[in-house]
Amino acid sequence: MSLGLTINQDWEKQLVRRETIEWCKNQYEKEVLGKMTTLKEEAKVYEPQLTKNIADLPEVSVEFELEDKAGTDKEGKEFKYKVINVNGEDYRVPGSVIGSLKSILEKKPDLKTFSVAKKGEGFNTTYTVIPM
């Protein structure tokens, strides 16, 4: 497979292209040919899946669709949570935010957007829903 690279091109671009081609080759072998990848190959392209929090967003539309997700805690127990997807990234929506939003929508049914303020950590976290 010829990359068509010239010696005058930026070395970084060449490296990125090589890594991209290598990744595509590995994916093809794994998915089409059924070959296994090595730990090294998988580690090179690994990106951890992190779920952000709705409070990380500056503004949220009430029209975002909720999705149900499941995770595993440190003890191996499964738990369920809700997320919204914004630009390909999941943001967790705590139940207390949904409850607060319900109360606000009862008083202001035409609400379009809101924001969420987060205070505290872990089980001591509180969320304040702010209508926009």
Strands 52-53 and 89-92, by their bridges, are: parallel
Same domain, 96 and 57: yes
Pairwise CA distance, residues 91 & 116, whole Å: 12
Pairwise CA distance, residues 58 & 78, whole Å: 30
| 74-103 confidence digits (pLDDT tens) | 888 898 999 999 998 899 999 999 999 999
Same domain, 72 and 89: yes
Same domain, 65 and 23: no
How many domains are contained in the chain?
Answer: 2
| 34-44 confidence digits (pLDDT tens) | 666 778 877 87
Same domain, 91 and 32: no
5 part of a folded domain: no
Same domain, 83 and 62: yes
Prediction pTM value = 0.61
Give the residue numbers spanning the domain of 36: 11-45
CB atoms within 10 A of CB 86: 15
| Type of residue found at 64 | F
